[in-house]
A and B are shown apart, each in its own frame.
Chain A
């Protein structure tokens, strides 16, 4: 039972990270019907920017204001990077065939990945310990301050995003653009501005995810964006791509699934089972768990 609860905590922690990153994929897909392959690399970039901000800009001493500063500055930097990617790689292709945009997304991914390698080198970098390693033991289950922070902050951000999209005017505009861009335009919505908004939000959430990866796993490499991007992408599909609560649910489910497979079956097979799960879900429910079946527009 202890082991089960412990795996539950582990799974929820990595699941929250997947969910944060998955939101970036799903929001962009929802409005633009485009898989933003560069998103995973923005996440990786965030960990490196965080490292740079901490050690070069803020002096490398751990304190609460510094940690908050690292988060805020990194979020700003990565959302600007996301904005730039949208401007340079996607906007010129707005009316082009969808395949061109996908190729452009792959290109953007490579540019960012190699950019990180040129700036920080190919070797593994060590992310600083910004959060003190405090652990609590509750009935045989060990939970660390870091895990609590990751889960709490992720939940907060996701709930915030949900209300933003459901209750505000901009959120309504985002949902309208997702349903039908032309109709949204006729209603006086500036779809380009909406796209910029979702890129800023998605990149910011990805930036937080990237910082969590750095904090939790410590070792960061220039090409790790591909791995985490892939998991988050799978999470988004499991939940139903284009659906915001779906991405959250998909992320948490994927995290739990991976933890339990690794714990009870074999950690080596965790990846294989993850993709088997993906295939099964695509066969049984092609639109994902929360995805709605939309009639193909002809």
Chain B
């Protein structure tokens, strides 16, 4: 008798401990980002800045009286892991997800968030991200098509390159951007002499560069990520290919300059303004807080764009006075000029961020950026 009583008691205790903390206590914010893998420093930047923003909001009393709780899932920059992360975060009952860094990972997770009614914001620039018609998805950066037009105009009109070579990897972002650039160049009457693809992370790009060299390009446009871009630039110079190098937006990362080494000097990168160049007070304050907390600068603008996505979500909750994601999304789809760290935030009905502000930077000897065209 005594034994069964004890059993009952312990059972009851287990149930009490195991029962989930009431869902309404906190606002759960998911981070889906590549914390490890090739894009680790971007993923860590996103995670760190989301946590910083959460701390700042919690210090002011939270969102409608609820504290923010950050739940991070490492998608390693792979689509397979991204899909697992999406399920995991949905199971943990997050109401919004920040990420991921790559379009591929954002896209692999999109449908899961859509079905669960979880808001998602990503810096992925692939045009396909907003083509599925998911009301849950908001892009906090600007799409490839805008960048492609800017890049084509720069290469064909401004620099008047005769022979343009385009290189990309196979990810949905990079391939999409390269194809868009190719189309835009052709539309402006430019001459594309080569369109090659590389396998991201394969490190040895000399064979494909050698092949390109025989086509005598004046410029190599690389759509892809910094971890490959830096190596491509350094191997291009080592092979004596005297073409200019223009990297697409994802080459904008401190590691590009480190990887390319001395070869980085003179390379061009096309992107929206870097964090240091943002003129807004909000940006200066956030960067100062980031530096104070982590003793480093954010790895790139992508970190900050994701923070803006999250700020827009929080603003949506506060403006609608509701945690109902459907209502918040409806409000956000008409959001206009909400002051953001990266400039005014407006969303179109398909979840695209409205506006763009691309620039061309030239990398200087000391590794800093100089604006050469905007």
Q: Which residues of A contact B (CB under 8 A)?
A: 2-3, 6-7, 10, 14, 117, 121-124, 126, 129, 133, 135, 137, 142, 144, 146, 217-219, 221, 224, 258-260, 262-264, 266-268, 270-271
7 more A-B residue pairs beyond the given contacts A3-B211, A268-B170, with a C-beta to C-beta distance below 8 A: A3-B210, A10-B204, A123-B44, A124-B40, A124-B227, A133-B238, A259-B207
Which of B227, B239, B255 counts the most chain A CB atoms within 10 A?
B239
Q: List 19 A-B contacts (CB under 8 A).
A: A6-B213, A7-B210, A10-B206, A117-B36, A122-B36, A122-B37, A126-B259, A133-B262, A133-B263, A144-B238, A146-B238, A219-B231, A258-B207, A263-B208, A263-B211, A264-B211, A267-B199, A267-B202, A267-B207
Q: Does B196 interact with chain A (Cβ within 8 Å)?
A: yes
Q: Does B237 interact with chain A (Cβ within 8 Å)?
A: yes
What are the residues of chain A within 8 A of B20 when measuring CB–CB?
Answer: none
The 0/1 profile, CB within 8 Å of A marked 1, for residues 253-264 of chain B is 001001101110
Q: How far is the CA of A264 from the CA of B211 in the complex (A)?
A: 8
Tell me whether A218 and B230 are in contact (CB under 8 A). Answer: yes
Main secondary structure of the interface of B (DSSP, over half): helix
Q: Does B112 interact with chain A (Cβ within 8 Å)?
A: no
Tell me whether A3 and B213 are in contact (CB under 8 A). Answer: yes
**Nearest CB in chain A: distance from B210 CB, A:** 5
Q: How far is the CA of A169 from the CA of B197 in the complex (A)?
A: 52
What are the residues of chain A within 8 A of B211 when measuring CB–CB?
Answer: 3, 263-264
Tell me whether B207 and A262 are in contact (CB under 8 A). Answer: yes
Q: How far is the CA of A7 from the CA of B38 in the complex (A)?
A: 27
Q: How far is the CA of A2 from the CA of B205 in the complex (A)?
A: 17
Q: Does B119 interact with chain A (Cβ within 8 Å)?
A: no
Q: How far is the CA of A263 from the CA of B44 in the complex (A)?
A: 36
What are the residues of chain B within 8 A of A121 when measuring CB–CB?
Answer: 40
Q: How far is the CA of A217 from the CA of B41 in the complex (A)?
A: 19
Q: Does B234 interact with chain A (Cβ within 8 Å)?
A: yes
Which residue of B40, B204, B213 is within 8 Å of A14 (Cβ)? B204
What are the residues of chain A within 8 A of B263 when measuring CB–CB?
Answer: 133
Q: How far is the CA of A129 from the CA of B237 in the complex (A)?
A: 14
What are the residues of chain B within 8 A of A264 when measuring CB–CB?
Answer: 211
**Nearest CB in chain B: distance from A232 CB, A:** 14
Tell me whether B213 and A221 are in contact (CB under 8 A). Answer: no
Q: Which chain B residue lies CB-closest to A219?
A: B259
Tell me whether B240 and A142 are in contact (CB under 8 A). Answer: yes
Q: How far is the CA of A271 from the CA of B231 in the complex (A)?
A: 19
Q: How far is the CA of A130 from the CA of B368 in the complex (A)?
A: 22
Tell me whether A137 and B240 are in contact (CB under 8 A). Answer: yes
What are the residues of chain A within 8 A of B205 when measuring CB–CB?
Answer: 267
What are the residues of chain A within 8 A of B44 when measuring CB–CB?
Answer: 123
Q: How far is the CA of A2 from the CA of B210 in the complex (A)?
A: 9
Tell me whether A268 and B199 are in contact (CB under 8 A). Answer: yes
Q: A-B contact count, CB below 8 Å?
A: 95
Which residue of A10, A219, A224 is within 8 Å of B207 (Cβ)? A10
What are the residues of chain A within 8 A of B41 when measuring CB–CB?
Answer: 123-124
B residues 10-48 near A (Cβ < 8 Å) are 35-38, 40-41, 44
The 0/1 profile, CB within 8 Å of A marked 1, for residues 212-245 of chain B is 0110000000000001001100100111100000
Tell me whether B203 and A219 are in contact (CB under 8 A). Answer: yes
**Nearest CB in chain A: distance from B184 CB, A:** 24
Q: How far is the CA of A126 from the CA of B197 in the complex (A)?
A: 24
Tell me whether B207 and A263 are in contact (CB under 8 A). Answer: yes
The 0/1 profile, CB within 8 Å of A marked 1, for residues 276-305 of chain B is 000000000000000000000000000000
Q: Does B79 interact with chain A (Cβ within 8 Å)?
A: no
Which of B196, B198, B214, B238 counts the most chain A CB atoms within 10 A?
B238
10 closest A-B pairs by beta carbon, nearest first, are A262-B207, A122-B36, A123-B40, A142-B240, A126-B258, A263-B207, A217-B203, A10-B206, A267-B208, A6-B210
What are the residues of chain B within 8 A of A218 when measuring CB–CB?
Answer: 230-231, 234, 259, 261
**Nearest CB in chain B: distance from A224 CB, A:** 8
**Nearest CB in chain A: distance from B215 CB, A:** 10
**Nearest CB in chain B: distance from A116 CB, A:** 12
Which residue of B208, B210, B238 is within 8 Å of A135 (Cβ)? B238
Q: How far is the CA of A64 from the CA of B321 in the complex (A)?
A: 67
What are the residues of chain B within 8 A of A10 when measuring CB–CB?
Answer: 204, 206-207, 210
Q: How far is the CA of A285 from the CA of B244 in the complex (A)?
A: 47
Q: How far is the CA of A6 from the CA of B239 in the complex (A)?
A: 9
What are the residues of chain B within 8 A of A260 when measuring CB–CB?
Answer: 207
Q: How far is the CA of A258 from the CA of B202 in the complex (A)?
A: 12
**Nearest CB in chain A: distance from B254 CB, A:** 10
What are the residues of chain B within 8 A of A144 when measuring CB–CB?
Answer: 238
**Nearest CB in chain B: distance from A125 CB, A:** 9
Q: Which chain A residue lies CB-closest to B257?
A: A126
What are the residues of chain A within 8 A of B213 when measuring CB–CB?
Answer: 3, 6
What are the residues of chain A within 8 A of B239 when measuring CB–CB?
Answer: 6, 135, 142
Tell me whether A267 and B261 are in contact (CB under 8 A). Answer: no
What are the residues of chain A within 8 A of B214 when measuring CB–CB?
Answer: 2-3
Q: How far is the CA of A122 from the CA of B239 in the complex (A)?
A: 30
Tell me whether B35 and A122 are in contact (CB under 8 A). Answer: yes
Query: A219 and B230 in contact (CB under 8 A), knowing A7-B210, A263-B211?
Result: yes
Q: Which chain A residue lies CB-closest to B44?
A: A123
Q: Which chain B residue lies CB-closest to A264?
A: B211
Query: A221 and B210 in contact (CB under 8 A), knowing A126-B255, A133-B238, A133-B262?
Result: no
**Nearest CB in chain B: distance from A126 CB, A:** 4
Tell me whether B261 and A129 are in contact (CB under 8 A). Answer: yes
**Nearest CB in chain B: distance from A226 CB, A:** 12
**Nearest CB in chain B: distance from A147 CB, A:** 8
Q: Which chain A residue lies CB-closest to B203?
A: A217
Q: Which chain A residue lies CB-closest to B74?
A: A122
What are the residues of chain A within 8 A of B35 when measuring CB–CB?
Answer: 122
